[in-house]
Chains A and B, each alone.
Chain A
Amino acid sequence: MTSAVGIDRDTSSYALRLGDDALILGQRLSEWAVASPALEEDVALLNIALDLLGQARSLLTRAAELEGRGRDEDSLAFLRDEPEFTCALLSAYHVHLWRVLVGSTDDVLAGIAGKAVKEADYHFDHAKHWTLRLGDGTPESHRRIQAGLDRVWPYAAELFERDPLLDRLVVRGIAVDPEVIRPLWEQTVGEVLAQATLTRPDTAWRPSGGRSGKHLTGFGYLLAEMQHLHRSHPGAAW
């Protein structure tokens, strides 16, 4: 058990990755909410975004504690630049990740996962509901969601990449081994796609880089909006 606050840069980097995944997805969903087709969907997206933001706060706080450089959740969220963000693309992935991370030897990460897994369950339900509704809906909705799926699918591979950081943390029992959750994810996603009459994309292209801070153009715009207030008014709080 490593709950006491000592410096542990590896575990800090891992908590930061998980925190960045939740933070950036939460910010993106908040953007989507203003374009949602119905009030109920607006409420649903913002509820999910709020859960993700809460998870991100706990994870970034843990990352800051273990980093030992005097930073906090706010400085990590608002004062880092694009190459320092280590997120990858996700809901079916989160469900399986949290379920396994509950067994982490870092008991703060295990505690965060224990809360997050219950939230991820209904985030997944919501995503599944839309996938079924659009995939097995009209020919036009089917065409559009298949096109969207084809576009984002290659990026999913990055969720299961191993790197030296993960190698070290898996041995210590702190991080989740991507190879453990990959088959679970494949099965869950495969079932939903089949039920939604969607075709699982088959592509050899496997873009990478998110975990090492290389992102697509849209990422900079997202950061600009998310960080603008804090950078313009350092220390602003309410």
Chain B
Amino acid sequence: MTTAAVRALLDSVHDPEIPVLTISDLGILRDVEVAGTHVVVTISPTYSGCPAMDEIRADIDAVLAEGGFDGEVRTVLSPAWTTDWMTDAGRRKLLEYGIAPPRPTRSGPVAVELGRTVIGCPQCASRDVEELSRFGSTSCKSMWRCNSCREPFDHFRAH
């Protein structure tokens, strides 16, 4: 089986906190090495204390075992994960799910494009929005409110 096929298999592993995102969308899937039936999957944690990481590791193990592989999950800290690694598909899924996607980090390698640097309301696309709290229901999100449609929403913080 090829690496691409194993990657396709891993697309069924989702972030338990934000189930619309696969680990590949999130940018934490760093490497897949296939040698016969032995598969080494390398991932990067999002936040140091993110409780979803244990579950993600267990899900990867389960998916690989189901596929008949002898899987091994390695966690690497460096280079540190950044939201700049989130895929465009991931950003689109977040928006459709009602979460404003992250802007590029200041130091990140992503070119600053208009439209990606501004937070818009995921419901009505208004840019008249305000931050209620830098902290939200999970480490990666902050709480916002739209002043046009008055809906509260989550924003996936640039990190």
Question: Which A residues are within 8 Å of any B CB, using their own CB?
Answer: 40, 43-44, 47-48, 50-55, 57-58, 107-108, 110-112, 114-116, 118-119, 122, 125-126
Given contacts A47-B139, A111-B80, A114-B80, contact A122 B48 (CB under 8 A): no
14 other contacts beyond A54-B45, A111-B76, A115-B81, with CB at 8 A cut-off? A40-B133, A43-B135, A44-B134, A47-B135, A47-B136, A50-B51, A53-B49, A57-B48, A57-B49, A111-B78, A112-B48, A114-B77, A115-B45, A126-B135
Min CB distance B33 to A, Å, is 19
Instruction: Point out which of B45, B51, B133, B159 has the most chain A C-beta atoms below 10 A from its C-beta.
Output: B133
Nearest 4 Cβ contacts at the A-B interface: A54-B49, A54-B48, A111-B77, A111-B78
The prevalent SS among residues of B at the interface is: loop
Contact A108 B50 (CB under 8 A): no
A-B residue pairs in contact (CB < 8 Å), sample of 28:
A40-B132, A40-B133, A40-B143, A43-B133, A43-B135, A47-B135, A50-B50, A51-B49, A51-B139, A54-B45, A54-B47, A54-B48, A54-B50, A57-B48, A107-B78, A108-B77, A111-B80, A114-B77, A114-B79, A115-B45, A115-B47, A115-B81, A116-B48, A118-B80, A119-B47, A122-B134, A126-B134, A126-B135
The prevalent SS among residues of A at the interface is: helix
Determine which of A40, A50, A52, A115 lies in contact with B80 in the assembled complex, contact meaning CB atoms within 8 Å: A115
Please tell me if B137 contacts chain A, counting CB pairs below 8 Å.
Answer: yes
Given contacts A108-B77, A111-B76, A115-B77, contact A55 B132 (CB under 8 A): no
Min CB distance B6 to A, Å, is 26
Contact A44 B77 (CB under 8 A): no
Which B residues are CB-close (under 8 A) to A126?
134-135
Contact A44 B48 (CB under 8 A): no
Which A residues are CB-close (under 8 A) to B79?
114
Measured CA separation A55–B50 after assembly (Å):
10
Contact A110 B49 (CB under 8 A): no
Find residues 132-158 in chain B having any chain A CB closer than 8 Å to their own CB: 132-137, 139, 143
Measured CA separation A22–B143 after assembly (Å):
26
Which B residues are CB-close (under 8 A) to A57?
48-49
Which A residues are CB-close (under 8 A) to B81?
115
Find residues 101-144 in chain B having any chain A CB closer than 8 Å to their own CB: 132-137, 139, 143
Which A residues are CB-close (under 8 A) to B132?
40
Min CB distance B97 to A, Å, is 20
Residue of B nearest to A110 (CB): B78
Given contacts A114-B80, A115-B77, contact A51 B133 (CB under 8 A): no
Find residues 48-104 in chain B having any chain A CB closer than 8 Å to their own CB: 48-51, 76-81
Measured CA separation A110–B134 after assembly (Å):
27
Min CB distance A190 to B, Å, is 24
Which B residues are CB-close (under 8 A) to A119?
47-48
Measured CA separation A116–B48 after assembly (Å):
7
Which A residues are CB-close (under 8 A) to B133?
40, 43-44
Residue of A nearest to B158 (CB): A118
Measured CA separation A44–B76 after assembly (Å):
27
Determine which of B77, B137, B143 lies in contact with A112 in the assembled complex, contact meaning CB atoms within 8 Å: B77
Residue of B nearest to A51 (CB): B49
Determine which of A43, A53, A55, A118 lies in contact with B137 in the assembled complex, contact meaning CB atoms within 8 Å: A43
Residue of B nearest to A112 (CB): B77
Residue of B nearest to A44 (CB): B135
Min CB distance A104 to B, Å, is 11
Measured CA separation A57–B136 after assembly (Å):
22
